[in-house]
Amino acid sequence: MGEFEPRIVAFFCNWCTYTAADLAGTSRLSYPHNIKIIRVMCSGMVDPKFVLKAFLNGADGVLVGGCWPGDCHYINGNLKARRRVALITEVLKQYGIGEERFWLRWIAASEGNMLKEIADDMTAKLKQLGPSPQRNMGQMAV
């Protein structure tokens, strides 16, 4: 068996973080394939259900990427996302999904480098942490 490869579901906002991923690509920066990107219009539209469903279906990590405070295309969607992430974190923490598995990060459209760094960092940390306890339960209990 090879090394454990974490599966990270990433919700990236269209205007900043997704554009940063695009920039990382055009700049020929390589980031780990563990990050599976889902483009959303704003980090503020990441419904708690998206995050819960990802973890229940065995994701090892969830990364939400949004614009820096003050830069949101919709003015303050990212600030709403921050409160919501804090709430979801509190729920998940009680059932064995710690905050080390659920990240919110601000990554601006120009920060292709930072996107790579964060993707590297999260992948490395989750490799150390090991698979999500939910991973092998499949659809039995969800």
Partner 1 sequence: MPKFAKLPFKKDELNKNLSGFFKGMLENGAVNAVLVPMAQAKKGVRLTLVTSAANTAQVDPFAPIAAVSGAKIASSLTSRPSRRKVAMVLRSCEIRAVIELVKLKQVNLDNVLLIGMDCLGRYENTDFAKFQEQGGTSESFLENALAGKTSMPDFDIAGACKICEFPMADNVDMRLCAIGAGNGSVFIEAVSAKGEEALEKSGLKIGETPAGRGEAVKKLVAVRTEARDRKFAEYRAETNSFEALGDKLAACVNCYNCRVACPVCYCNECVFLTDTFRHTGEQFMMWADQGGLLKMPNDTLFYHLTRMTHMSLFCVGCGQCTSACPNDIDLMPLFRTCADKTQARFNYQAGRAVDEEQPMAGFKSDELVEVTGQVK
Contacting positions for partner 1 (CB under 8 A): 48-49, 52-53, 55-57, 68-70, 76, 79-80, 82-91, 93-97, 103-106, 133-134, 137-142
Judge whether 28 and 2 are in contact, CB under 8 Å: no
Shortest Å distance, C-beta 6 to partner 1: 17
DSSP labels, 61-87:
EEEEEEPPTT--TTSSHHHHHHHHHHH
Rank residues 30 and 76 by Cβ distance to partner 1 and give the closer one: 76
CB-nearer residue toward partner 1: 28 or 80: 80
* Closer residue to partner 1 (CB): 127 or 135: 135
Measured over the CA atoms of residue 133, residue 136, residue 141 and residue 142, the dihedral's sign is: positive
**Which two structure tokens, joined as six digits, stand for 135?**
């991973």
Taking the complex as a whole, how short is the minimal distance between the CB of residue 28 and partner 1, in angstroms? 25
